[in-house]
Amino acid sequence: MENAVSLPVSDGFFAQIEAIRARREGAEIVLLLTISENGKSESFKLTIPTEVYCEKKLRRGVISKELFEELQTISRRFDAIRCGENLLAFGPNTEQRLTRKIMRHGFTRDEAEEATKILLERGLIREEEDMRAEVVNCLRKLWGRRRIEFFLRSKGYADKTISGLPELLRGVDFPKQCARLIRKYYGEVPTDRAERDRMYASLTRYGYSLDEIRHALQIL
């Protein structure tokens, strides 16, 4: 595509690259542009990969409306990927959760989903590994099976990832976990009926089944 023209296009749109700057040790290029349309002027800053800059053979000067719109789309996609990388630097995210977070930074769903897909392909999103770490943390908190699964779903882990949860929990003695929880918060099993009912309700919220709670009481 030819990117330089000598005159503004006939529909009154005028775009000109004012400056070109390399950033991140040449990995990306920042374009500073002036856009005029219908008598109004506006400044734009677009960031694109260096390979796109080389492919398009960009230089300072007037460009077509079609090229400007193409560069704007590329820049939006590139910025969404950078946003995702920055979010991942603060901690692990699931595909679903990262997509939502990128959208909160002003990107469309399509842009956010495409950025997340690229980051996944680069190996920056590791749901199975991250889920194992989350499960270990949940078990430290003495959570039951159901609460762990609910928590993982609330974090946005995909069904295919959560399908591996039973294998991760294989060998976990949940009645014993429940007994430890009772000791931690009650010391001993309450003898008062009302207090005992409240304990049952609390243990259920922790994700334990009635059978697991009864077994835990037998252990105690």
Question: Residue-wise pLDDT tens for the chain (220 aa)?
Answer: 334 333 344 458 899 999 999 998 889 999 999 999 888 899 999 999 999 999 999 999 999 999 999 999 999 999 999 999 999 999 889 999 999 999 999 999 999 999 999 999 999 999 999 999 999 999 999 999 999 999 999 999 989 999 999 999 999 999 999 999 999 998 888 888 899 999 999 999 999 999 999 999 999 8
* Per-residue model confidence (pLDDT) at position 5: 39
* Per-residue model confidence (pLDDT) at position 11: 59
Counting Cβ atoms within 10 Å, is residue 54 exposed (0-12), middle (13-18) or buried (19+)?
exposed
Q: Compute the distance between CA of residue 110 and CA of residue 133 in angstroms, rounded to an integer.
A: 30
Instruction: Tell me, yes or no, if the pTM score tops 0.95.
Output: no
* Per-residue model confidence (pLDDT) at position 43: 93
Counting Cβ atoms within 10 Å, is residue 125 exposed (0-12), middle (13-18) or buried (19+)?
buried
H or E stretch at 45: strand 40-49
* Per-residue model confidence (pLDDT) at position 125: 92
